[in-house]
Amino acid sequence: MQLSPAVATNLVPSLSRGARVIIEVPHRDVIPVVEAARRHKTQVVVEILDDWFDKALGGDWFNKADLVRILNSADRVVATALALQRQAQAYFAGQVEYLPNAANELEFRPAAFREAELALPGDWPPGASRVALYFGSLYGSWLRWDFIHEAAKVCPDTEFVIIGDASQQVKDMNKDFRNVHLIGLKQHSELTAYVQAATVGLLPFAPGPLLETISPVKVFEYGFAGLPVVATFSEELKGLPFIHQAKDAHQFASLACSELPAPSSDDLSTTLQQYSWGRVADAMMQDHKLQHAFVVIILCHNNGDFIGRMVRSALKHGATKTTMQVIVVDTASTDESPQVLADLKAELGITVVQIDSPGCSAGRNAGLAAINLPGFVPSRVLVSFFDSDMLITSASWMYETEAIHLSNPRLGAIGWAAGWFNPDLPYDTVVYGLPRRGANSETDKLGFRVSVGYLGSGGMVAKLSALMDTPGFDERFFPAGFEDTDLSFALREAGYFIAYREFGGVLHEAHKTTARIHSEAKLDYDDLLRKNGKLFRSKWKNRPQYFSAG
């Protein structure tokens, strides 16, 4: 929604406590908005994201005096590139902070964090075994077509897929390159399938001062998907683990033709956390504290090789926002997990509980019993359940779930995963397989969806007071399956409602944890669902209205 400066100015008095007014374009028309924010003691953050002194960007409207006036009225100034940080520092008395651009990690997440493989786009080059991809603007002197053409000549077996609005001039200059494919404009939501199918991402920008002021979003979108990226040399991009920089067309072509290593899993984890839009929002709201204490309960069964990633990411993004207790329950692990958890406890002060059962219900109940937050009443404690194979990329999930719980006193739990029942099968539909991951008009209006059958426990956030009104997780659902569905019904039975929302800041390597449990127990997944599903339906047979919810 685009607001005129007058409308925005009039909205300022109605902003909630702790809100921010973020100024991205230093136009004189925003000065009244800034002044209104100052009068109402609303924090003003100015984000410098372009070199407005460049006529190609600032045009005829930019005025240095307006910029200085806006900067001097700001509480904070952030810049998306190091060169912009240095430039803005000359006009701002405080410290200009460096806050590079980012990308949507939910949209561009790597294949390992997807529930299903993406279909190959219909206009993908037939039979292509190696594809170099570029998407973005195709006009302007800053795009170096000679870099792309040199690479196309040197790499005849590589297909170069170019997404963007190609003018006739652009089409003419590429007509002699059989392996350069101009496939036109795409919706941003369509880009993910192209990025996932590509071999390497390209950033063929002209070297020089302008490039140093750019923090290119597409670089992070490439990187999130696990692509190595060939880019023109820039100090701004130096050090990113997936970037391979070239100083001229020859070196660019050589790199584009090379078998470049994909980012390691550790590099991917770091990149997803460091360059998500949620991380940018966290930085913008760095002094905004949450009103609830948060408990994070994580199960670990022979997950010593990746449990540390989940623990560290939860603390990295949440511990500075509120009081947080991280509880890891070791459910009878026989690998290195006990030692890994002992080391994490010594280093980070987490709570570690060990039980002799691999059951998920027993583990989560043990986690609930270990909650220790003196000074917090249960209604001011939010309990979250996560699996070892999940990754937290920002505090977005905390802000979102707290806001929804505060506005809905009878909400028992809100979940990141949900599903619906089929009369004849254990499960019918889960959100993973739906357009927009289950979001609908209800989600658009409320911010969450009540019309669901049950919540999954991975990514469930519940009020501690609501959980105390239930019997907890039923340990008869062993080792896993239907225990979270059962808790959803137990919350309804206690007079609460449940809701679904794909909140930000959460990624999941699907079935990485449960697969180990099922494998060790020598249980077929479908057989287990049938067994536990039969118990579940028998237990709740007198509550048919719960099954039809949603």
pLDDT 10s digits, 57-84: 888 999 999 999 999 999 999 999 999 9
Q: How many beta carbons lie within 10 A of that of residue 113, not counting itself?
A: 20
Residues 231 and 343 in one domain: no
Residues 251 and 360 in one domain: no
Q: At what angle do helices 31-39 and 64-72 cross, to 10 degrees?
A: 10
Output the CA–CA distances (angstroms, integers) from residue 14 to 30, 37, 42, 43, 250, in the order listed: 18, 11, 10, 14, 57
Q: Which of 49, 67, 98 is the last residue of a domain?
A: 98
**Contact criterion met (CB below 8 Å) for 50 and 56:** no
**Contact criterion met (CB below 8 Å) for 326 and 296:** yes
| Residue 425 pLDDT greater than 70, yes or no | no
Q: Is residue 380 part of a domain?
A: yes
Paired sense of beta strands 381-387 and 460-463, if any: antiparallel
The model's pLDDT over 360-376, given as tens digits with 9 standing for 90+, comes to 999 999 999 999 999 99
- 257: region left, alpha or beta (phi > 0 left; psi from -120 to 50 alpha): alpha
Number of domains in the chain: 3
- 397: region left, alpha or beta (phi > 0 left; psi from -120 to 50 alpha): alpha
What is the predicted pLDDT for the residue at 341?
98
DSSP letters, 171-191, are HHHHTT-TTEEE-----GGGH
Bridge partners (DSSP) of residue 381 are: 293
Q: Is residue 279 part of a domain?
A: no
Model confidence at 5, pLDDT cuts 50, 70, 90, reads confident
Taking the C-alpha atoms of residue 448 and residue 104, their distance in angstroms, rounded to an integer, is 20
What is the predicted pLDDT for the residue at 512?
65
Residues 536 and 436 in one domain: yes
**Contact criterion met (CB below 8 Å) for 18 and 41:** no
What is the predicted pLDDT for the residue at 4?
80
Q: Is residue 140 part of a domain?
A: yes
Q: Which of 214, 246, 273 is the last residue of a domain?
A: 273
Read off the pLDDT of each residue in 425-440 and give the average, rounded to a whole number. Answer: 78
What is the predicted pLDDT for the residue at 423?
64
Q: Report, in angstroms and rounded to the nearest whole number, the Rg of the chain calculated over CA atoms.
A: 26
Mean of the per-residue pLDDT values for the chain? 93
Residues 322 and 175 in one domain: no
The model's pLDDT over 162-186, given as tens digits with 9 standing for 90+, comes to 999 999 999 999 999 999 999 999 9
The model's pLDDT over 185-224, given as tens digits with 9 standing for 90+, comes to 999 999 999 999 999 999 999 999 989 999 999 999 999 9
Model confidence at 432, pLDDT cuts 50, 70, 90, reads confident
For residue 44, report the phi and psi dihedrals to the nearest 5 degrees.
-110, 125
Q: Which of 98, 128, 152 is the last residue of a domain?
A: 98
Residues 350 and 484 in one domain: yes
Q: Is residue 282 part of a domain?
A: no
Strands (E), 407-520: 411-415, 418-422, 425-430, 454-455, 460-463, 497-500, 506-508
Q: The pTM is what?
A: 0.92
Q: Is residue 278 part of a domain?
A: no
Residues 364 and 413 in one domain: yes
| Residue 281 pLDDT greater than 60, yes or no | yes
Model confidence at 243, pLDDT cuts 50, 70, 90, reads very high
Q: Is residue 280 part of a domain?
A: no
What is the predicted pLDDT for the residue at 229?
98
Q: Is residue 404 part of a domain?
A: yes
Residues 204 and 341 in one domain: no
Residues 88 and 137 in one domain: no
| Residue 427 pLDDT greater than 80, yes or no | no
| Residue 517 pLDDT greater than 70, yes or no | no
What is the predicted pLDDT for the residue at 277?
97
At residue 275, the 3 state secondary structure works out as coil
**CATH of residue 540:** 3.90.550.10
**CATH of residue 207:** 3.40.50.2000
Taking the C-alpha atoms of residue 527 and residue 518, their distance in angstroms, rounded to an integer, is 11
Is 370 exposed, middle or buried, given 0-12, 13-18 or 19+ CB atoms closer than 10 A?
middle
Read off the pLDDT of each residue in 350-355 and give the average, rounded to a whole number. Answer: 98
Bridge partners (DSSP) of residue 224 are: none
Contacts of 251 (CB under 8 A, 6+ apart): none
Read off the pLDDT of each residue in 430-459 and give the average, rounded to a whole number. Answer: 92
Q: At what angle do helices 265-274 and 217-224 cross, to 10 degrees?
A: 140
Residues 500 and 479 in one domain: yes
**Contact criterion met (CB below 8 Å) for 257 and 290:** no
Residues 238 and 112 in one domain: yes
Q: How many beta carbons lie within 10 A of that of residue 274, not counting itself?
A: 14
Strands (E), 56-167: 76-79, 97-98, 131-135, 159-163
Q: Is residue 284 part of a domain?
A: no
| Residue 433 pLDDT greater than 80, yes or no | no
**Which domain does 148 fall in, by range?**
105-273
Taking the C-alpha atoms of residue 372 and residue 379, their distance in angstroms, rounded to an integer, is 14
Residues 308 and 413 in one domain: yes
Residues 447 and 520 in one domain: yes
